[in-house]
Amino acid sequence: MDLITDAARALIGTRSDWVEACHPVEPSELRRFFQATMDPSPRYRSTAVDGRYGGPVAPPGFPVHAFRRPPSDTKDPLEGMGDPEFDGESRVFRQGLPRMPIPLQGVLNGGYEYEFLSYARPGEAIYCRSVYRDLRQRQGRSGPMVLVVIDDEYAAGAEKRPLLRSTSTTIIR
Amino acid sequence: MLKVETREPEERFFEDFSEGQELPTVTKGPMMVGDQVRWAGACDNYESEFHHDEYVAKAQGLPGIILSGPLMASLLMTTVMQWMGRGARLVRFFDQNRGSTMPRDLAHLQGRIRRTYEEAGKAFVELECWITNQRGEITTPGSALVELPRRGR
């Protein structure tokens, strides 16, 4: 059974515009991030006086996880969780990309490939733009799966200083 | 209260690494649901219920709650930065979520230098890194490219 329809295949190569994270980098979210990743480095802490960066910076992978639900979004993402009727086709992969119509419910992260260019700093706005790079169907142990490959570019500030480039693989199963 | 020891990685140089060199194993865990909840809070991402609800996880054909792949990748990336020292610049990082880390699993973070080389006046170390659990299964293979300072320059 081919789960990658023509409509889905037609989205390969679709690019988003720059999408801005709903608020600039906050010291408290950096704290939660480096505590969650058990990172003892002082360069991310608000007390950082490291001359190399001139103050605290965000952990290199932080921008990927900085796109949160904006206060203006009144639709609770937890609403409808566990809905047996959910067919997967309304899933949003990136705020700026169209929905990818893959009719499977489960989703797992397959992995990342990062290229780091600079660190984000507290107070900076973070931007992301994305492109659907590829779709592949595989047969897994528990049934068919579709790999959705997305390239993302992250940047900081109005001048869009490059932060990192990422290729991520999401497994739909 | 969560206690995190603030520690600057040691200073290391390109000359400190050689091809085939094993890096010291770092063990995290046992990993718990609390590690996952803390990560979900850090990312404001609570939508994948199989990360915190055993019933949902099993209904989706998983063996039980599994910890987030990006959390495990972040732990591996943090460890790479600690191995390479305070002067290192992480250039590239790759990880693949091949196996699951479940509550009460140990995560042994391991690495080996694959290649050292210079290019355009800069010094680079390429390494393989991976996470194994207490059964010796590789759950998260990865690799990294790091630029390092030269000693005395």
Choose among A35, A77, A106: nearest Cβ to B38: A35
Q: Name the more confident of A82 and B141.
A: B141
Choose among A37, A40, A110: nearest Cβ to B96: A110
Q: What ipTM score was computed for the predicted complex, to two decimals?
A: 0.92
pLDDT band at B115, cuts 50/70/90? very high
- Nearest chain B residue to A163 by CA distance is B91
A 10 A CB-CB count for B30 gives 13
B14-30+68-148 has which fold?
A: Thiol Ester Dehydrase; Chain A (3.10.129)
- pLDDT tens digits for range B16-69: 999 999 999 999 999 999 999 999 999 999 888 899 999 989 988 899 999 999
CA distance A118 to B88: 13
Q: Is the pLDDT of residue A6 over 70?
A: yes
For residue A54, the one-letter residue type is G
pLDDT of A19 reads 96
pLDDT of A85 reads 64
pLDDT of A149 reads 98
A68 vs B44: CB contact, 8 Å cut-off? yes
For chain A, the domains span: 6-25+89-172
Tell me the CATH architecture of domain A6-25+89-172: Roll (3.10)
pLDDT of B136 reads 97
Average pLDDT of the residues of chain B:
93
Cβ-based burial of A140 (10 A; exposed 0-12, middle 13-18, buried ≥19): exposed
Does B96 lie at the interface with A, CB-CB under 8 angstroms? yes
All residues of chain B having their beta carbon less than 8 Å from the beta carbon of residue A36 are: 35, 38-39, 41-43, 71, 74
- pLDDT tens digits for range A65-99: 999 988 998 888 787 676 666 666 667 889 899 99
CA distance B33 to B52: 7
Strand, coil or helix: B95: strand
Cβ-based burial of A69 (10 A; exposed 0-12, middle 13-18, buried ≥19): middle
